[in-house]
A and B are shown apart, each in its own frame.
Chain A
Amino acid sequence: MRYHKPASFAQAIDIASTSEGITRFLAGGTDVLVQLRADIVSPDDLIDIKHISGVREITKRADGGYDIGIAVSGAEMSEDDVLMADWPGLVEAMDLIGSTQVQGRATLVGNLCNASPAADSVPAMIAAGVTLTVEGPTGAREVAVEDIPTGPGKTALEKGEMITKVHVPARGENAGDAYLRFIPRTEMDIAVVGCGVNLRLEGDTITEARVALGAVAPVAALVPEAAKALIGTTLDEAALAALAKAAQEACNPIDDKRGTIAFRTDVAGVLAQRAAKIAYARAKGETK
């Protein structure tokens, strides 16, 4: 295994695109090192992207949104009070990944590119409408988060391509997000079900909604029917029931060591309701 420390994205892309073997990008390493140790992946070229300028920064844009560097750790996101105030659901989703120690290293992009259907930050990013800059040998493009994972362990990134920036939209007024997951313990588990909800209100009425589910299908995905169940409502009992039904219908889970099909489907509805209530309260400014 060769270890590289490129000083620019161009260099990193060059190494990745010219490598003849298996390449992996190293940011927090919390997945790569586990896979290396377990012989799941043995990269020929390991490209440490932490020495590229700007990758450790969170920048608030003029439009009120945020650009998050690809090596920003979960702990650094949690410590950013401004980002936390705007996007608590997104930050909390990231914060749920692993231990305090893992938080010191793990990154949004790493969580996304590991392409686990159960990745906690991914439904939250999808719900928030996060987009990414993808750069490669042939240039750059903007991609929505939901278009990156294509299956367990698989992404839409081409050889030599890498994500170079994370773009979080401006929060805007009367809006809130939330992410909840179900795990058997209180910490340290992989999500059995995850759900991100992002809402905007006018008065008490929901005008915009995005709902995303994780761990209930091969990839985390937006559930437009769940959003439809919420828009135009005040999150009354009927809306919540419709939301749960839509979330459950969107489930295509598996039976495995972490949960059953029936359990995942049931709980997806429960978490969608609970996350929606939190996002709603946040949008109304009732809670942080």
Chain B
Amino acid sequence: MSLVHVTTKVNGDEAEFLCEPRETLLDVLRDRLGLTGSKEGCGTGDCGACSVTIDGRLVSSCLVLGVEAEGKEIATIEGMAQGEALHPLQRKFIEHAALQCGFCTPGILVAAKSLLEKDPDPSEEDIRYWLAGNLCRCTGYDKIVRAVQDAAKEMREGV
């Protein structure tokens, strides 16, 4: 199967790669660009562990082809912190013990960031439905929801 040349931008940096047309964006991020922060939990768009944004839109990268990244801007968990400064969501997840095994965490953080960009003051229900496509098997979601609420509050109040 012949390879396709793709030029894209990942976390603000230009990126080029060759891939088979059937490779997913998740395959490309992990295996060709070495960005293993996005995880594969299901490969069918049911778990959200591979969440990234494309041109600001939240997607499951297992349901996007690598070739579709041409000319797009991709954002992954690796680009969430600004240098040493963690995003408030990242800090609050640690503070609230909102992760146990941590495998779903990158996807949940990317998804939650996307929510707060759209709605800075989501209700508990808003958070739960927005994150319904991000499975977490460890926490029962309680501390995740609290961490998102707390991060949203901090971001609103500009503390």
Q: Do chains A and B touch in the complex (CB under 8 A)?
A: yes
Chain A residues with CB under 8 Å of chain B are 1-3, 26, 28-30, 33-34, 36-38, 46, 48, 50, 73, 75, 98-102, 104-105, 186-188
Q: How far is the CA of A2 from the CA of B60 in the complex (A)?
A: 23
Main secondary structure of the interface of B (DSSP, over half): mixed
B64 touches A102 (CB 8 A): no
A100 touching B67 by the CB < 8 A rule?
A: no
Q: Is the CB of B60 within 8 A of A102?
A: yes
Are A29 and B21 in contact, CB atoms less than 8 angstroms apart? no
Q: Assuming A34-B44, A99-B45, is B21 touching A187 (CB within 8 A)?
A: no
B2 and chain A: residue at smallest CB distance: A2
Beyond A26-B68, A100-B58, A101-B60, 15 additional pairs, beta carbon < 8 A: A1-B22, A3-B65, A29-B63, A29-B64, A30-B63, A33-B63, A33-B65, A37-B43, A50-B68, A73-B57, A75-B57, A98-B133, A99-B134, A101-B59, A105-B59
Looking at the complex, which one of A3, A98, A186 makes contact with B21 (CB distance below 8 Å)?
Answer: A3
Q: Is the interface of A mostly helix, strand, loop or mixed?
A: mixed
CB–CB A101/B111 < 8 A: yes
Interface residue tally for chain B (C-beta within 8 Å): 32
B48 in the interface, Cβ–Cβ < 8 Å? yes
Most chain A C-beta atoms within 10 Å of own C-beta, residue among B4, B43, B67, B133: B133
A residues near B60, Cβ cutoff 8 Å:
99, 101-102, 105
Contact code string B13-29 (vs A, CB < 8 Å = 1, else 0): 00000001110100000
> Contact between A104 and B44 (Cβ–Cβ < 8 Å)?
no
Provide the bound-state CA to CA distance between A259 and B66, in Å. Answer: 37
Contact in complex: B129, A102 (CB < 8 Å): no
**B44 and A188 within 8 A (CB):** no
A67→B127 CA distance, assembly (Å): 32
Given contacts A34-B45, A99-B48, A188-B133, contact A105 B111 (CB under 8 A): no
Residues of B within 8 A of A30 (CB): 45, 63
